[in-house]
Structure 1
Amino acid sequence: MSVVGFDFGNESCVVAIARQRGIDVVLNDESKRETPALVCFGDKQRFLGTAGASSSMMNPKNTVSQIKWLIGRQFSDPELQQDLKSLPFSETEGLDGYPLIHAQYLGEMKTFTPTQVFGMALSNLKSIAEKNLNAAVGDCCIGIPVYFTDLQRRAIIDAAKIAGLHPLRLIHETTATALAYGIYKIDLSENDPLNVAFIDVGHASMQVCIAAFKKGRLKILAHSFDRSLGGRDFDEVLFHHFAAKFKDEYKIDVFQNARACLRLRAGCEKLKKVLSANPEAPLNIECLMDEKDVRGFIKRDEFEQISVPILVRMKKPLEKALAEAGLTVENIHAVEFVGSGSRVPATIKILTEFFGKEPRRTMNASECVAKGSALECAILSPTFKV
């Protein structure tokens, strides 16, 4: 019987499996621990995960990414409409009011629902797990955001059925993180709870959870979230900054070209990572558009300055979670910071100011949800004694 946990992110996915020794994150075909969450449709076949990422630049209009953001949401949702402007593939409203994705596949125009595309990406994760286990994978646990509606949860279960999976449970990502954190804690008391705040700033959203740990027990006290505050918002701020700069300096408008937009977004994402470790960083892109090479430069202080509107919004979910849990900042023993957006130094500064203590990074920011999901699957599975 399979014991597998899937963390299906907005940008990348992680697969973890439980073995007799513990929980392992498994490697994909390229020996990487993270697999891109996208599907690229070609003339003769479709490319999933890492294979899709390598052909996405050549084929941007037939590459479907950010599937998790689309699934189970109404086409008329204003947040979704805002995001669809930045996605290169084409979408329309279906008869049921949900988005339909259009892509050129096998030489003709095909229409897919987000649930179908999600199922395709999940089948790729399933095959990664099967290769590592050398056995069929059926039972699993899938991490989902706290704010998912009932419709979105049902859509995830439908997508899992398409991939031939049987989810034993859909577990909240922050709960999975808390599980992964608590399982190896051996210094917990039986009477006094240890209150830990888990802050997960992912690619598209921010989630906060406050958990109380006692010996052998975990209780979630409060949840809060901002579903449109994540790492990609920092990328977007940089993208608009440089798009305006290049329009002035080089007289090119990247918004007129889907591939130029993709390349500039990818460049800004790399730039953000460089800025997390360095006080300043250059941006050089060859032949961005109209045969022009472009170069830019930004300091970390300037980046933090243009990101202020995003950083200000971080405090609201923190305050809400504390109020819901009925605790004060003094009652929080530790703050754990995870997610891909946790690598931006300015976010750490905000959390340090709010909690009066520096957030800890004891967990792997990208893998904790998959590990917690695999652990939950092991708890529900009769083959393991946890």
Structure 2
Amino acid sequence: MAAIGIYLGTEYSCVGVWHDGRVDIIPNDQGNRTTPSCVAFTPDRELIGEAAENQADRNPTNTIFDMNRLIGRCFSDPTVQSDRKLWPFNVIEGAGDKPKIVVQYKGEEKQFFPEELSSMILTKMKEIAENFLNCSVRHAVVTVPANFNDSQRHATKIAGEIAGLDVMCIMDEPAAAAVAYGFKLDYAFGLNVLVFDLSISTFNVSVVEHNKGGFMVKATAGDMHLGGKDFDNRLLNYFLDEIKRKHKKDISDNPRSIRRLRSACEQAKKTLSSDVATTVKVACLYEGTDFSSNMISRARFDEINMDLFERCMGLLTKCLEDARMEKTKIDRVLLVGGNTQIPMVQKMLRDLFDGYKLCKSIDLNSVVAYGAVLQSERLKNCTPQMVALIGNSLRILQVKVN
């Protein structure tokens, strides 16, 4: 039987399978190995992934994202109440204090629970795998953030069931990353690893111990509102100030111009990971005027983002303290998420730990899915009783130390 591993992320998701003796992370119909975790509703159809994300500016109230911030939570949860002020879509209170998302679809008002929307992303992942394998897929391992509680894990499992999946295991993201790198590095028992996950809009750091029971998440810390978008926004504000100085124009209230400039800033951030300087150019940015920036250096980028880098390191220190572990006891630092490619992030980690400890041999955007695939391959031939036993033992092991 076929079994797949799915990274169900806040910003994007991806799926993989064990195929021809190796892990294959499967590209979607756009040729991308990651798919935005985004669902949209238009007057005539439902859109998922890139198609949903690409029309978000034109249809903000009916384009839904951040399902991981809602799934398994109560409407009255302070985190939900804080986040809903930032979302362009409407979140209301449903029965039993459950949040519901309200959209207009085919001329009618529709209401969805978060797990129903997450199931649409999982259905997309399932379809991507089935198209690749040319057969039906039912069994899956799905990953979740390490700080998900039982209610959030259960809701994620329900989302999988709605999508037609038998979710063999709900697996912590840092444990999946450790399994992925462990497969490559052949870890010995007793090693301690630190998983440093800096994604598009979230940051998480976890201390994981490899013992005979598997990978145990000993402590985790993070910030659900700290990630690559924050670095992009710092660059965006930097260039908005430059436009004001050079051209006496304030374009901050022009959504189209802001979107195009932010995209250029994201590309500049990526370029500065390999080059020491770059420029930002946007044709017809506003009022038919082209924009070409002054050269911005990697040093300047580091300067305007230093407080954000330091926040990451502060959370790392807290995680070590919660795990009651000295930094000298960490044997490996596993990098996860595309924004860990930022040179300053890696420099700060090398300064804190010995440089040789940094592990980045697997694609940083798909490493969690890679580990989920390995776990799915391990479980697919087990009896239901054995799957339940392994799943329960994993859940018991993955306990945060307070």
Write the letter of the residue equivalent to 2:230: D
Query: Does the 8 Å CA contact 2:40/2:52 hold for their aligned counterparts?
Result: yes
SS at match of 1:18: strand
Separation in 2, partners of 1:116, 1:210: 32
Query: Does the 8 Å CA contact 1:235/1:272 hold for their aligned counterparts?
Result: yes
Q: Point out the more displaced range, 113-122 or 101-110.
A: 101-110
In the other structure, the counterpart of 2:89 is: 90
Query: Does the 8 Å CA contact 2:64/2:89 hold for their aligned counterparts?
Result: no
Aligned-residue offset at 1:125:
0.9
Q: Point out the more displaced range, 374-383 or 109-118.
A: 109-118
1:23 to 2:23 alignment: yes
Aligned-residue offset at 1:35:
1.6
In the other structure, the counterpart of 1:344 is: 342
Equivalences for residues 1-386 of structure 1 within 5 A: 1-19=1-19, 21-75=21-75, 80=80, 83-84=83-84, 87=87, 89-96=88-95, 97-186=97-186, 193-213=190-210, 218-220=214-216, 222-228=218-224, 229-246=226-243, 249-254=247-252, 256-289=253-286, 291-297=288-294, 298-357=296-355, 359-382=358-381
Q: Point out the more displaced range, 165-174 or 89-98.
A: 89-98
Separation in 1, partners of 2:74, 2:213: 38
Write the letter of the residue equivalent to 2:299: D
Separation in 2, partners of 1:368, 1:26: 13
Aligned-residue offset at 1:127:
0.6
Scaled by the length of structure 2, the TM-score of the pair is 0.83
Structure 1 pair 189–282 and aligned structure 2 pair: CA distance change class (3 A): closer
Aligned-residue offset at 1:172:
0.4
Separation in 1, partners of 2:149, 2:219: 15
Write the letter of the residue equivalent to 1:21: G
Cα distance per residue 1:59-117 (max 9 Å; x no partner): 44433233323333455655555655654x32233245554434342234433333222
Aligned-residue offset at 1:273:
1.1
Structure 1 pair 290–105 and aligned structure 2 pair: CA distance change class (3 A): farther
Query: Does the 8 Å CA contact 2:174/2:208 hold for their aligned counterparts?
Result: no
Separation in 2, partners of 1:288, 1:112: 37
Structure 1 pair 198–90 and aligned structure 2 pair: CA distance change class (3 A): closer
Structure 1 pair 286–86 and aligned structure 2 pair: CA distance change class (3 A): farther
Aligned-residue offset at 1:333:
2.6
Aligned-residue offset at 1:5:
0.5
Structure 1 pair 227–305 and aligned structure 2 pair: CA distance change class (3 A): same
Aligned length: 380
Separation in 2, partners of 1:240, 1:76: 34
Aligned-residue offset at 1:365:
0.8
Cα distance per residue 1:303-328 (max 9 Å; x no partner): 21221221111223322333344432
Separation in 2, partners of 1:135, 1:243: 51
Q: Is there any run of 5+ residues in structure 2 with no aligned partner, and where?
A: 384-402
Scaled by the length of structure 1, the TM-score of the pair is 0.86
Percentage identity across paired residues of the two chains: 31
Write the letter of the residue equivalent to 1:378: E
Structure 1 pair 99–244 and aligned structure 2 pair: CA distance change class (3 A): farther
Query: Does the 8 Å CA contact 1:72/1:152 hold for their aligned counterparts?
Result: yes
Q: Point out the more displaced range, 117-126 or 235-244.
A: 235-244
Query: Does the 8 Å CA contact 1:221/1:325 hold for their aligned counterparts?
Result: no
Aligned-residue offset at 1:301:
1.9
For the aligned residue pairs, the C-alpha RMSD in angstroms reads 3.0
Query: Does the 8 Å CA contact 1:60/1:259 hold for their aligned counterparts?
Result: no
Aligned-residue offset at 1:381:
1.8
Q: Point out the more displaced range, 135-144 or 268-277.
A: 268-277
Q: Point out the more displaced range, 294-303 or 53-62.
A: 53-62
Separation in 2, partners of 1:173, 1:36: 17
Structure 1 pair 333–132 and aligned structure 2 pair: CA distance change class (3 A): same
Aligned-residue offset at 1:121:
1.6
Aligned-residue offset at 1:205:
2.3
Query: Does the 8 Å CA contact 2:178/2:334 hold for their aligned counterparts?
Result: no
Query: Does the 8 Å CA contact 1:144/1:173 hold for their aligned counterparts?
Result: yes
SS at match of 1:335: strand
Structure 1 pair 184–343 and aligned structure 2 pair: CA distance change class (3 A): closer
Query: Does the 8 Å CA contact 1:222/1:322 hold for their aligned counterparts?
Result: no
Write the letter of the residue equivalent to 1:183: F
Q: Is there any run of 5+ residues in structure 1 with no aligned partner, and where?
A: none
SS at match of 2:110: strand
Separation in 1, partners of 2:309, 2:46: 39
SS at match of 1:314: helix
Write the letter of the residue equivalent to 1:220: M
Query: Does the 8 Å CA contact 1:209/1:220 hold for their aligned counterparts?
Result: no
Structure 1 pair 110–286 and aligned structure 2 pair: CA distance change class (3 A): farther
Structure 1 pair 381–84 and aligned structure 2 pair: CA distance change class (3 A): same
